Structure 1
Amino acid sequence: MLKSKKARVFLATVSLSLTLVQTAYAGTYKVVAGDSLYKIGNLFNTTASTIMKYNNLKDTYIYPGQVLYVPSDTYTVKAGDSLYLIAKKYGISLYSLRKANNKWDDYIYPGQVLNIPGSTPTTGSSYVSDNGNSVYQEPSRGSVYRGVITYSLSDLDLLARLITAEADGEPYEAKVGVGAVVINRVKDYRFPNTISDVIYEKTDGYYQFTPVENGWINKPASEEAKKAAYDALHGSDPTHGALFYFDDSATNSWLWSQPIAARIGRMVFTYLK
């Protein structure tokens, strides 16, 4: 959990080893029974070999529940959207939109990031070629990627580890919310301006995130946490701009005194007065 000058709230976190190639992927896809790299490639207008390269796969074996990075445009859901309207906007079938996102009900929420099948990721002029792969070059950090903020693979790794610890067992939306809080802090002038500096920040001698303090930040992240970190980095924020979060069993009066932005599962997300 997050701590402040007035509060220390303890939680738990875990570390991750991402084995990704330096490629400008734009979406993630969760494998379901009956999938093959060939079928997924057809859905996203690419090839099995390209997907293997994006995910550093040594063979074509995939399994249900596995999260793959795919070349695809993404769309961030806005108020008033529906799956039908999004499919119509991009000139694709509703079925293919559902399939690309494993989304078989009609519930979507503002800030949710959806894959757009049959497209290729668009990149701005800030992207350059690096050994045949499109990545953004930032002198101080090397190859970085464009989301709502720029980030490196190590940033994605660190954020996914934090999400695993802080929201393991919580709904997927809560996991994305944890990532979004970190990103909201990066963008807020009152906090450090990088993912690493936010997560490792100390206030009055105490770490802001307990998993850093107890070492759980060095344990592996779940596949779902990796996807949640990616979605948060690319604009999904079910907390609507929150800067803090804590478990609803917390008894600290200062935490509960802050304006509540969202409650997801057992997690409470708040603004800062």
Structure 2
Amino acid sequence: MDKVLERGEGFLKFLGTAGARFVMIRQLRSSAGLWLRYKSTNIIIDPGPGSLVRCNSSRPKLDLSSLDAIILTHKHLDHSGDVNVMIEAISEGGFRKRGKLVAPQDALDEKEGVVFSYTKKFLEEIIVMEEGKEYRIADVRFITPLKNIHSVDTYGVKFLFPQTTVSLVSDTKYFPRLVDIYKDSTVLILNVVFYQKRSEYEHLSLEEALELVKKIKPELAVFTHFGMSMLRAKPHLLEEKIRKELKLNIKFAYDGFTLEIPYRKDKRG
């Protein structure tokens, strides 16, 4: 990661690449989310179970007290399990009111939300996600361009850097508007839970993810958030096969995979 920082202005580190309940429960892959650093700004995205431990055990260590914000794309536990301890970390145990939380309204609700009432008081600001809304956290500008089709309120996030647009689509059923909304992506990050299409679930399959990549044509696509069927299919072998046969620049992320920002096309993911 230090070498990545030497080359670029920032990075996106995949602390965990687990998707779906059983991979998360068994921790076959970590469910710790993503850490974004750009210039002097640090944001953790979707801190699921194990995020606190993964940050502290990262090499080099990720300083939780340096966090500026938390982003939740939605409230499912594999994306939000450690959100309250992250708020504790940002606010130094609640002794220092600081940090921002960006999340859908249903993640914040008193009855069925995932953020405790007492930890909300530790934050400097809570920002509710809305479709089409733009945000700025210090050096980082981003938008939530589209509400996904998922069982709870879920939004994709498009990070707008000067030379790179990184789109984190999050959990969703396939639908045509995804192509139009994310067609300007330099890097397209897709949560690919299923190896084969499962129309009864609101998650992407490998086939659907590949269709999106072919239509959107990003410089790099990153697949993550793998369910059991994807792990059984061996992501590293799928990556090799797809790169060779389909000539697509796709990276199947692993725990600890780090993407340089700005993304440079001449460097393979």
With structure 1 as the length reference, what TM-score do the two structures score? 0.28
Question: Higher strand share goes to which structure?
Answer: 2
Q: Which one has a bigger Cα radius of gyration?
A: 1
State TM-score, norm by structure 2.
0.28
More helix by share: 1
